[in-house]
């Protein structure tokens, strides 16, 4: 499979201030990639380097094999981009602004814009300056999707969208993926990408901490387990077990958090009479917070 | 913008149309002018009292000596500063440069827009003055009037492209406005005071104003060499704008 986005040792410093450091990243074509990290980690810097809005301090990047600087026009005609801090021409109507963009993209018409706008329930005839922030965000999304780009680079795409519109946005992303197109979306919250991303990369303080399939990460995330016993149980029996932490005992119910294999826990529990096992959803959020704080190991 | 140009036209019509009234009062004004210091007269483009009453002298003192350059300058600088730096500060530059266009293309498009606007103002200046002149049957050549208006356009473009260059190099709109207006003010003072201050005389040809009005286009028509200098200066600033803008990071 061809690589849609490739960076190698990509580094950007603003004077002495860190942007990103030695970033290696490969996003395959047809993949939905979630780019996660706390604010200021370097997500926007990475994206703006790919668009040649910034020039790298060192390292290289390619989009569909093309160089952002030497073939900037080629790169940018393949990309649909939604800026993180979206600013639009407030004195234009939606149609006027999209027409302006379509002209600069050398399109003959507004492309997919009318359909996308309709799905997002956006009135394109209204003056952009009068729109709510959620509706402005929709204008941003429409212009990113309008030319049916091979690569969508969306910086914090669902900010300001109501839950119904978020659903519609997820469908748009899903359809783009079905089409074999690539979607690269950044976010500082996991929930935004959890349902649509195939893989996620987590960046922290300018460095990539982990790049992993979402499913693999889920297996690695801590889970809360409740073990119900026939009679009260001594907490001490469970406290020292590997992979088990945060043990609390309430009469005949042992509650604990497990990271990784539950083998030792189940073996120990089996020595008593287990009446029920309740497993809670993997706490991916907790794992991400650990990565954000720099606590999780990057293996 | 449209109101601004319309207002200028209206003013110019009114000013030109009152020429007859002004000439009727010539003797009264002459005695008044005798008391004015030369520096003040120079500021309004009047080198001698008598010249004030000729059609070109009147138009220079009332419009082309200060108002017309002020209008074209203000428009040029305003548009020039907004072109790159203004758009960058507003945040829309990200969206624009994420499109498949080169930065050079963006600069040239902005330049084109600036030229159209300043030219429209120039046409407004010409129309306003011409209407007023015809109304009072003023003895002035329409060709020279057009030449003077066009010189004003070129002058506006020089400072407009200077503002464009500073904005393109730095992305700072305030700085771009400040530098271009500051340079314009200094240049204006030099050209104003040059006739009466000896040591400034030498500096006069260094200011764009010299190439705008020194050969008196209202009397002599367009001076191609001088127009060429103004165009050359603008072209140089556009080159600087393009070169610096292509090289740097775009701020968020």
CB within 8 Å: B95 and A79: no
CB within 8 Å: A53 and B102: no
CB within 8 Å: A72 and B92: no
The residue among B125, B137, B152 whose CA lies nearest residue B55 is: B137
Confidence of residue A235 (pLDDT cuts 50, 70, 90): confident
Of A73, A86, A143, the CB nearest to B101: A73
The residue among B147, B124, B108 whose CA lies nearest residue B71 is: B124
Give B242→chain A minimum CA distance, Å.
Answer: 15
pLDDT at B48: 55
Cβ proximity of A196 and A168 under 8 Å? no
pLDDT at A249: 87
Give B95→chain A minimum CA distance, Å.
Answer: 7
For every one of its 252 residues, what pLDDT tens digit does chain B have, with 9 covering 90 and above? 677 778 888 888 888 888 888 888 877 777 777 777 777 766 665 655 556 778 888 888 888 988 999 999 999 999 999 999 999 999 999 999 999 999 999 999 999 999 999 999 999 999 999 999 998 888 889 999 999 999 999 999 999 999 999 999 999 999 999 999 999 999 999 988 887 888 888 888 889 999 998 888 998 999 999 999 999 999 999 999 999 999 999 987
Give B94→chain A minimum CA distance, Å.
Answer: 7
Task: Give the angle subtended at the CA of B52 by the CAs of B218 and B49, to the nearest 5°.
Answer: 135
Overall CATH class of domain A222-281: alpha beta
CA distance A12 to A58: 7
Of B90, B102, B247, the CB nearest to A73: B102
Q: Which residue has the tokens 């009679």?
A: A231
Q: How many beta-carbon pairs under 8 angstroms link A with B?
A: 59
Give A212→chain B minimum CA distance, Å.
Answer: 29
B96 contact partners, CB below 8 Å, separation of at least 6: A104, B87, B106
Q: Cα–Cα distances in Å, from B241 out to A42, B176, B236? A: 29, 12, 9
Confidence of residue A298 (pLDDT cuts 50, 70, 90): very low
pLDDT at A7: 97
Closest-CA residue of chain A to B96? A101
CB within 8 Å: B97 and A104: no
Cβ proximity of A80 and A124 under 8 Å? no
**DSSP notation for B129-194:** HHHHHHHTT----HHHHHHHHHHHHHHHHHHHHHHHHHHHHH--HHHHHHHHHHHHHHHHHHHHHT
Per the DSSP assignment, residues forming a β-bridge with A199 are: A33, A213
B91 contacts in A (CB within 8 Å)?
83, 85-87
The more confident residue out of A264 and A6 is A6
Per the DSSP assignment, residues forming a β-bridge with A185 are: A34, A154
Q: List, for residues A172-228, the tens digit of each pLDDT value.
A: 999 999 999 999 999 988 888 888 999 999 999 999 999 999 888 887 888 888 999
Backbone angles phi, psi at A199, to 5 degrees: -130, 155
A104 contacts in B (CB within 8 Å)?
96, 99-101
pTM: 0.87
Could you tell me if B250 lies within 8 Å of chain A, comparing CB atoms?
Answer: yes
Residue A1 has pLDDT above 60, yes or no: no
Cβ proximity of A111 and A81 under 8 Å? no
Q: Which residue has the tokens 């009147």?
A: B58
Could you tell me if B92 lies within 8 Å of chain A, comparing CB atoms?
Answer: yes
Q: Regarding beta strands A32-36 and A199-204, do their DSSP bridges make them parallel or antiparallel, or are they unpaired? A: parallel
Q: Which residues of A touch B (CB under 8 A)?
A: 14, 44, 48, 51-55, 72-74, 76-77, 79, 81, 83, 85-89, 101, 104-106, 143
Give B123→chain A minimum CA distance, Å.
Answer: 26
pLDDT (average), residues A56-74: 97
Contacting B residues, span 101-140, partner chain A, CB-CB under 8 Å: 101-102
The more confident residue out of A118 and A241 is A118
Burial class from Cβ neighbours inside 10 Å (0-12, 13-18, 19+) for residue A106 reads exposed
Closest-CA residue of chain A to B245? A53
CB within 8 Å: A89 and B92: yes
CA distance A174 to A166: 12
Closest-CA residue of chain B to A152? B98
Give A54→chain B minimum CA distance, Å.
Answer: 4
pLDDT at B75: 95
Closest-CA residue of chain A to B109? A104
Of B92, B97, B100, the CB nearest to A53: B97
A 10 A CB-CB count for A251 gives 10
CB within 8 Å: B252 and A86: no
Residue A142 has pLDDT above 90, yes or no: yes
CB within 8 Å: A83 and B99: no
Q: List, for residues A70-122, the tens digit of each pLDDT value.
A: 999 999 999 999 999 999 999 999 999 999 999 999 999 999 999 999 999 99
Please provide the CATH number assigned to the domain covering A3-218.
Answer: 3.40.50.300
pLDDT at B45: 58
A81 contacts in B (CB within 8 Å)?
95, 98
Give B251→chain A minimum CA distance, Å.
Answer: 8
Of A81, A89, A104, the CB nearest to B101: A104
Task: Give the ipTM.
Answer: 0.84
Q: Which residue has the tokens 């393949």?
A: A78
Tell me the residue ranges of DSSP E strands in chain A.
3-14, 17-28, 32-36, 58-63, 79-82, 151-155, 182-187, 199-204, 207-213, 223-229, 244-250, 253-258, 274-279
CB within 8 Å: A73 and B100: yes
Residues found in chain A = 299
The domain segmentation of chain A, as residue ranges, is 3-218, 222-281
pLDDT at B44: 63
pLDDT at B50: 53
CB within 8 Å: A51 and B98: yes
Residue A19 has pLDDT above 50, yes or no: yes
User: A3 in helix, strand or coil?
Assistant: strand
Task: Give the angle subtended at the CA of A68 by the CAs of A66 and A72, to the nearest 5°.
Answer: 90
How would you list the strands of the sheet with A3-14, edge to edge?
A17-28, A3-14, A58-63
pLDDT (average), residues A130-155: 97
Give A279→chain B minimum CA distance, Å.
Answer: 45
Q: Which residue has the tokens 């758009």?
A: B87
The more confident residue out of B196 and A156 is A156
């Amino acid at each position: 499979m061809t690589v849609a986005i490739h960076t190698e040792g990509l580094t950007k410093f603003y004077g002495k201030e860190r942007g990103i450091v030695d970033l290696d990243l490969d996003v395959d074509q047809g993949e939905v990639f979630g780019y996660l990290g706390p604010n200021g980690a370097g997500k926007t810097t990475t994206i703006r380097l790919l668009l040649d809005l910034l020039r790298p301090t060192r390292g290289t990047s390619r989009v569909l094999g093309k160089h952002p600087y030497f073939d900037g026009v080629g790169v940018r005609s393949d990309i649909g981009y939604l800026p993180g801090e979206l600013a639009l021409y407030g004195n234009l109507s939606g149609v006027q602004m999209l027409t302006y963009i379509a002209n600069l993209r050398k399109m003959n018409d507004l492309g997919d814009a009318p359909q996308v706008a309709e799905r997002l329930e956006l009135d394109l005839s209204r003056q952009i300056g009068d729109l709510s922030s959620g509706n402005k965000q929709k204008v941003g999304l429409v212009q990113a999707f309008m030319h049916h780009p091979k690569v969508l680079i969306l910086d914090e795409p669902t900010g300001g969208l109501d839950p119904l519109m978020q659903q519609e946005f997820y469908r748009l992303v899903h359809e783009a993926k079905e089409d074999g197109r690539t979607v690269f979306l950044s976010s500082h919250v996991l929930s935004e990408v959890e349902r649509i991303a195939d893989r996620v990369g987590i960046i922290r303080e300018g460095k990539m901490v982990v790049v992993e399939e979402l499913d693999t990460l889920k297996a690695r995330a801590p889970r809360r387990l409740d073990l119900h016993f026939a009679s009260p149980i001594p907490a001490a029996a469970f406290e020292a077990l590997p992979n088990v932490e945060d043990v609390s005992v309430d009469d005949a119910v042992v509650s604990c958090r497990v990271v990784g294999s539950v083998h030792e826990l189940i073996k120990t529990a089996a020595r008593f009479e287990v009446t029920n096992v309740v497993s809670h959803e993997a706490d991916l959020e907790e794992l991400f917070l650990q990565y954000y704080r720099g606590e999780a190991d990057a293996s | 913008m449209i109101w601004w140009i319309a207002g200028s036209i209206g003013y110019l019509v009114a000013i030109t149309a009152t020429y007859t009234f002004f000439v009727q009062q010539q003797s009264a004004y002459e005695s008044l002018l005798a008391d004015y210091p030369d520096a003040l007269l120079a500021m309004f483009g009047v080198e001698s009292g008598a010249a004030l009453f000729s059609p070109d002298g009147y138009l220079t003192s009332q419009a082309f000596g200060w108002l017309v350059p002020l209008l074209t300058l203000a428009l040029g600088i305003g548009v020039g500063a907004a072109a790159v730096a203004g758009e960058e500060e507003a945040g829309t530059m990200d969206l624009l440069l994420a499109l498949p266009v080169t930065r050079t293309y963006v600069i040239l498009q902005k330049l084109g827009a600036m030229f159209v606007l300043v030219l429209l103002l120039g046409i407004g200046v010409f129309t306003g003055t011409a209407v007023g002149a015809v109304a009072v049957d003023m003895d002035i050549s329409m060709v020279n009037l057009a030449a003077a208006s066009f010189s004003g356009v070129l002058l506006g473009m020089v400072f407009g492209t200077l503002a464009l260059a500073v904005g393109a190099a730095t992305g700072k709109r305030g700085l771009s406005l400040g530098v271009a207006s500051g340079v314009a003010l200094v240049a204006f003072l030099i050209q104003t005071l040059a006739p009466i201050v000896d040591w400034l005389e030498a500096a006069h040809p260094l200011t764009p104003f010299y190439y705008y009005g020194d050969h008196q286009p209202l009397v002599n028509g367009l001076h191609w060499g001088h127009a060429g200098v103004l165009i050359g200066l603008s072209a140089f600033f556009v080159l600087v704008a393009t070169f610096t803008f292509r090289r740097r990071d775009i701020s968020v």
